[in-house]
């Protein structure tokens, strides 16, 4: 499973999303879009959004802190891997 979290250091919803992934034992790559303008542009191209967090799970984009959407995509990704 490939998970990328586009976030900023000051975003409380990013923190919640990362804590959720940590609790689930999901490994992810965190990209600080505040420090990396190229990554921020990439995030906007993928999601159409400028706000964070944006979470990419095996190519599927989840915008914002949305526990239900994250759980759904993680389950889908696990099934595809099995």
- What digits encode the pLDDT tens for the residues 4-57? 999 999 999 999 999 999 999 999 999 999 999 999 999 999 999 999 999 999
Residue 31: CATH number of its domain: 3.40.30.10
| pLDDT bracket for residue 81 (50, 70, 90) | confident
Comparing 27-31, 41-45, 72-76, 78-82, the range with the smallest average pLDDT is: 78-82
User: 58 lies in which domain range?
Assistant: 3-81
Phi/psi for 20 (5° steps) reads -60, -50
The domain total for the chain is: 1
**pTM value > 0.75:** yes
| pLDDT bracket for residue 76 (50, 70, 90) | very high
């Amino acid at each position: 499973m490939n998970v990328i979290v586009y976030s900023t250091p000051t975003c409380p919803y990013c923190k919640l999303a990362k804590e959720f992934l940590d609790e689930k034992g999901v490994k992810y790559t965190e990209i600080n879009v505040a420090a990396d303008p190229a990554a921020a542009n990439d995030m906007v191209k993928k999601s159409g959004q400028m706000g964070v967090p944006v979470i990419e799970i095996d190519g599927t984009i989840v915008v914002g802190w949305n526990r239900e959407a994250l759980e759904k995509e993680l389950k889908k990704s696990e099934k595809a891997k099995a």
